[in-house]
Amino acid sequence: DAKTTQPTSMDCAEGRAANLPCNHSTISGNEYVYWYRQIHSQGPQYIIHGLKNNETNEMASLIITEDRKSSTLILPHATLRDTAVYYCIVRDAFTGTASKLTFGTGTRLQVTL
């Protein structure tokens, strides 16, 4: 799986949009970008994933650059409960054979009042 780089930490005011960047310059054509988050002392939670088009769900939006070398996770209205470590992961699409997820260091997002 391609390697990703993310800022170590970010702060965001409650109610504002949180924009979390991720670089994945070695991503290959069949690899998706996945985002997970881990709230303190819990297991990671799936947020969103995408291949090349921008995606949106009830939790977040994912913006992928045209060359697919980077992406941004957007939490439109951050709340205190969004304080967590956010992991950007690239991996092959599920093809019936499970491939392992490799976690980088992630971005520690602190949402403040």
Partner 1 sequence: GAVVSQHPSRVICKSGTSVKIECRSLDFQATTMFWYRQFPKKSLMLMATSNEGSKATYEQGVEKDKFLINHASLTLSTLTVTSAHPEDSSFYICSAPTGLDHYGYTFGSGTRLTVV
Size of the site for partner 1 (CB under 8 A): 20
28 is a contact residue toward partner 1 (CB under 8 A): no
43 is a contact residue toward partner 1 (CB under 8 A): yes
49 is a contact residue toward partner 1 (CB under 8 A): yes
Between CA 108 and CA 65 the distance in angstroms is: 23
Cβ atoms of residues 35 and 57 within 8 Å: no
CB of 89 to partner 1, least distance (A): 9
Beta bridge mates, 48: 35
105 is a contact residue toward partner 1 (CB under 8 A): yes
34 is a contact residue toward partner 1 (CB under 8 A): yes
Contacting positions for partner 1 (CB under 8 A): 34, 38, 41-46, 49, 87, 93-94, 98, 100-106
